[in-house]
Amino acid sequence: MNKPPRVLVVDDSTALLDIYSDIISNAGFEVLVAETGLRALELARWNRPDLILLDVMMPGMDGDAVDAHLKADPATADIPVLFMSSVLTENEQRGKFAAAGRAMSFMSKALAPHDLINSVRVSLGIK
Protein backbone atom coordinates (compact mmCIF):
# COMPACT_ATOMS: atom_id res chain seq x y z
CA MET A 1 0.00 0.00 0.00
CA ASN A 2 1.33 3.45 -0.94
CA LYS A 3 1.57 6.05 1.77
CA PRO A 4 -0.27 9.28 1.02
CA PRO A 5 1.90 12.36 0.63
CA ARG A 6 2.54 14.13 3.94
CA VAL A 7 1.79 17.87 4.09
CA LEU A 8 2.92 20.10 6.96
CA VAL A 9 0.64 23.12 7.38
CA VAL A 10 2.12 26.02 9.35
CA ASP A 11 -0.05 28.93 10.47
CA ASP A 12 -0.44 30.90 13.69
CA SER A 13 -4.24 30.84 13.27
CA THR A 14 -5.73 27.68 14.78
CA ALA A 15 -8.95 28.32 12.85
CA LEU A 16 -7.09 28.32 9.53
CA LEU A 17 -5.06 25.27 10.57
CA ASP A 18 -8.31 23.41 11.19
CA ILE A 19 -9.78 24.48 7.85
CA TYR A 20 -6.67 23.65 5.82
CA SER A 21 -6.16 20.36 7.66
CA ASP A 22 -9.71 19.23 6.94
CA ILE A 23 -9.53 20.18 3.27
CA ILE A 24 -6.15 18.54 2.71
CA SER A 25 -6.86 15.37 4.70
CA ASN A 26 -10.24 14.95 2.96
CA ALA A 27 -8.33 14.98 -0.34
CA GLY A 28 -6.34 11.95 0.83
CA PHE A 29 -3.16 13.54 2.14
CA GLU A 30 -1.59 12.98 5.55
CA VAL A 31 -1.51 16.27 7.45
CA LEU A 32 0.79 17.60 10.16
CA VAL A 33 0.15 21.01 11.74
CA ALA A 34 2.31 23.59 13.49
CA GLU A 35 1.29 26.93 15.01
CA THR A 36 4.83 28.29 15.30
CA GLY A 37 7.95 28.43 13.20
CA LEU A 38 9.96 26.50 15.77
CA ARG A 39 7.40 23.69 15.88
CA ALA A 40 7.39 23.61 12.08
CA LEU A 41 11.16 23.11 12.03
CA GLU A 42 10.89 20.25 14.54
CA LEU A 43 8.13 18.51 12.61
CA ALA A 44 9.93 18.98 9.29
CA ARG A 45 13.13 17.51 10.63
CA TRP A 46 11.59 14.50 12.35
CA ASN A 47 8.65 13.72 10.04
CA ARG A 48 10.02 14.65 6.58
CA PRO A 49 6.87 16.05 4.98
CA ASP A 50 6.58 15.95 1.20
CA LEU A 51 5.40 19.58 1.17
CA ILE A 52 5.20 22.47 3.62
CA LEU A 53 2.40 25.05 3.40
CA LEU A 54 3.92 27.99 5.25
CA ASP A 55 2.28 31.20 6.44
CA VAL A 56 4.41 34.23 5.58
CA MET A 57 3.29 36.48 8.44
CA MET A 58 3.64 34.85 11.87
CA PRO A 59 4.75 36.29 15.20
CA GLY A 60 8.18 35.30 16.39
CA MET A 61 9.73 33.35 13.55
CA ASP A 62 8.02 34.35 10.30
CA GLY A 63 7.77 32.23 7.16
CA ASP A 64 10.92 33.72 5.64
CA ALA A 65 12.98 32.78 8.71
CA VAL A 66 11.47 29.28 8.81
CA ASP A 67 12.30 28.77 5.15
CA ALA A 68 15.87 30.02 5.66
CA HIS A 69 16.34 27.48 8.48
CA LEU A 70 14.81 24.70 6.35
CA LYS A 71 17.13 25.47 3.43
CA ALA A 72 20.20 25.66 5.70
CA ASP A 73 19.57 22.17 7.14
CA PRO A 74 20.60 19.31 4.79
CA ALA A 75 17.85 17.14 6.33
CA THR A 76 15.10 19.55 5.20
CA ALA A 77 16.67 21.60 2.40
CA ASP A 78 14.92 19.69 -0.39
CA ILE A 79 11.37 19.88 1.02
CA PRO A 80 9.25 22.09 -1.26
CA VAL A 81 7.63 25.07 0.45
CA LEU A 82 4.41 26.73 -0.69
CA PHE A 83 4.04 30.12 0.98
CA MET A 84 0.59 31.39 2.00
CA SER A 85 -0.35 34.99 2.70
CA SER A 86 -3.48 37.03 3.22
CA VAL A 87 -1.53 40.31 3.43
CA LEU A 88 1.11 40.35 0.71
CA THR A 89 0.18 39.99 -2.93
CA GLU A 90 1.84 37.25 -4.94
CA ASN A 91 3.98 39.84 -6.77
CA GLU A 92 5.09 41.44 -3.48
CA GLN A 93 6.03 38.03 -2.12
CA ARG A 94 7.89 37.03 -5.28
CA GLY A 95 9.79 40.34 -5.24
CA LYS A 96 10.74 39.95 -1.58
CA PHE A 97 12.09 36.43 -2.00
CA ALA A 98 13.65 37.03 -5.42
CA ALA A 99 15.61 39.92 -3.85
CA ALA A 100 16.93 37.38 -1.34
CA GLY A 101 17.98 35.11 -4.21
CA ARG A 102 15.22 32.54 -3.70
CA ALA A 103 12.41 31.62 -6.08
CA MET A 104 9.35 30.39 -4.21
CA SER A 105 5.79 29.23 -4.76
CA PHE A 106 2.98 31.31 -3.33
CA MET A 107 -0.76 31.20 -2.85
CA SER A 108 -3.36 33.45 -1.32
CA LYS A 109 -5.06 32.29 1.86
CA ALA A 110 -8.39 33.16 0.24
CA LEU A 111 -8.33 30.13 -2.07
CA ALA A 112 -11.38 27.96 -2.59
CA PRO A 113 -10.90 24.38 -1.33
CA HIS A 114 -10.44 22.92 -4.82
CA ASP A 115 -7.83 25.60 -5.62
CA LEU A 116 -5.97 24.78 -2.39
CA ILE A 117 -5.86 21.09 -3.33
CA ASN A 118 -4.78 21.93 -6.87
CA SER A 119 -1.93 24.08 -5.49
CA VAL A 120 -0.85 21.22 -3.23
CA ARG A 121 -0.96 18.73 -6.09
CA VAL A 122 0.98 21.01 -8.43
CA SER A 123 3.62 21.62 -5.74
CA LEU A 124 3.93 17.86 -5.22
CA GLY A 125 4.00 17.15 -8.96
CA ILE A 126 0.73 15.17 -8.79
CA LYS A 127 -1.53 15.37 -11.82
pLDDT above 60 for 127: no
**What's the average model confidence in pLDDT over 74-92?**
79
Q: pLDDT tens-digit profile of 84-113?
A: 877 655 556 556 655 555 546 767 777 789
Q: Examine residue 13 and state whether it is found in any structural domain, yes or no.
A: yes
- Pairing mode, strands 81-85 and 51-55: parallel
One-letter identity of residue 57: M
Q: Examine residue 44 and state whether it is found in any structural domain, yes or no.
A: yes
- pTM here is 0.87
Cβ-defined contacts of 123-126 (< 8 Å, 24+): 123/51, 123/80, 123/82, 124/5, 124/50, 124/51, 124/80, 126/5
Q: pLDDT tens-digit profile of 14-45?
A: 999 999 999 999 999 999 999 999 999 999 99
Query: The domain that contains 100 carries what CATH number?
Result: 3.40.50.2300
Q: Examine residue 119 and state whether it is found in any structural domain, yes or no.
A: yes
**Residue range of the domain that includes 30:** 6-124
* SS3 at position 64: helix
Which of the four pLDDT bands, split at 50, 70 and 90, describes residue 53?
very high
Q: Examine residue 1 and state whether it is found in any structural domain, yes or no.
A: no
Q: Examine residue 115 and state whether it is found in any structural domain, yes or no.
A: yes
Q: Examine residue 28 and state whether it is found in any structural domain, yes or no.
A: yes
Q: Examine residue 20 and state whether it is found in any structural domain, yes or no.
A: yes
Q: Examine residue 110 and state whether it is found in any structural domain, yes or no.
A: yes
Percent with pLDDT over 70 in the chain? 83
What's the number of domains the chain is made of?
1
pLDDT above 80 for 116: yes
